[in-house]
Amino acid sequence: AQKVTQAQTEISVVEKEDVTLDCVYETRDTTYYLFWYKQPPSGELVFLIRRNSFDEQNEISGRYSWNFQKSTSSFNFTITASQVVDSAVYFCALSEEEYGNKLVFGAGTILRVKS
């Protein structure tokens, strides 16, 4: 069964703190794709990153980094030196070859960054 779990419902940090958002997924497929999206208060869904199941290389993009570990079925997202503009809901999502093209989303983590 496809499932994405974001156990952290809400996280509050003070500006400049580092924060990690957890994502754990379940899949029986050997080929799958993981995504992170950001939903700022304005409501749109903004794509952040895509990772396929064959690529376990971690990625860094500016203050953002992602740690993909197949052994623990996790795809965690870290924001370094958080800023107030990072305040948003962050969603992890999964798509699989076997189950077509739909995205299965986690429940989302609300990140509040205080100044």
Partner 1 sequence: DSGVTQTPKHLITATGQRVTLRCSPRSGDLSVYWYQQSLDQGLQFLIQYYNGEERAKGNILERFSAQQFPDLHSELNLSSLELGDSALYFCASNRAGAPQETQYFGPGTRLLVL
Contacts to partner 1 by CB under 8 A: 32-33, 35, 37, 43-47, 50, 52, 91, 93, 95-97, 100-108
Taking each continuous run of H as one helix and of E as one strand, the counts in the chain are: 0, 12
Using the minimum distance from each CB to partner 1, give the nearer residue, 16 or 50.
50
In this structure, what DSSP letter does residue 9 have?
S
Provide the minimum distance between the beta carbon of 40 and partner 1 in the complex, in angstroms, as a whole number: 11
CB under 8 Å to 89, separation ≥6 — which residues? Answer: 38, 39, 108, 109, 110, 111
Looking up tokens 């409501």 gives: 43
Using the minimum distance from each CB to partner 1, give the nearer residue, 62 or 100.
100
Nearest-10 Cα torsion for 42, 13, 24, 64: 70
Using the minimum distance from each CB to partner 1, give the nearer residue, 86 or 96.
96
Provide the minimum distance between the beta carbon of 30 and partner 1 in the complex, in angstroms, as a whole number: 13
Provide the minimum distance between the beta carbon of 66 and partner 1 in the complex, in angstroms, as a whole number: 14
Using the minimum distance from each CB to partner 1, give the nearer residue, 101 or 115.
101
Provide the minimum distance between the beta carbon of 108 and partner 1 in the complex, in angstroms, as a whole number: 7
Consecutive H or E run containing 89: strand 88-96
